[in-house]
Amino acid sequence: MELIPLSPAQHQALAVLQRQLRQWNSHCNLTRLVDGDDYWVAQVQDSLWPLSRMNPPFRGPLRGVDVGTGGGIPGLVLAIALPESRWVLVDSVQRKCAAVQAMASGLGLQARVEVVCERAESLGRDAQYRGRFDVAVARGVAPAPVAAEYLAPLLGSGGLALLYRGRWSTADHRALQQAARQLGCRIRASEHCLLPANRGQRHVLILEAEMPCPAPYPRAVGVPARRPLATASSSSPPTPDMALRGTRRHNPSVALCCNYPGGFGPYSFAWS
Domain that holds residue 108: 8-261
Straight-line distance from the first to the last Cα atom of the chain, in angstroms, rounded to the nearest whole number: 16
Query: Residue 163's pLDDT is what?
Result: 98
Residue 269 lies in a domain: no
Residue 266 lies in a domain: no
114 marked ligand binding residue:
no
Q: In this structure, what CATH number is given to the domain that contains residue 28?
A: 3.40.50.150
Percent helix / strand / coil, the chain, rounded to 5: 35, 20, 45
Query: What length is written for the chain?
Result: 272
Residue 217 lies in a domain: yes
68 marked ligand binding residue:
yes
Query: Residue 118's pLDDT is what?
Result: 97
Residue spans of the chain under pLDDT 70: 1-3, 233-272
Query: Residue 59's pLDDT is what?
Result: 87
Residue 58 lies in a domain: yes
How many domains would you assign to the chain? 1
Query: Residue 271's pLDDT is what?
Result: 39
DSSP letter at 117 equals: E
Residue 243 lies in a domain: yes
**pTM tops 0.75:** yes
Query: Residue 25's pLDDT is what?
Result: 83
Query: Residue 242's pLDDT is what?
Result: 38
Chain centroid, CA 136 distance in Å: 8
Residue 268 lies in a domain: no
Residue 272 lies in a domain: no
120 marked ligand binding residue:
yes
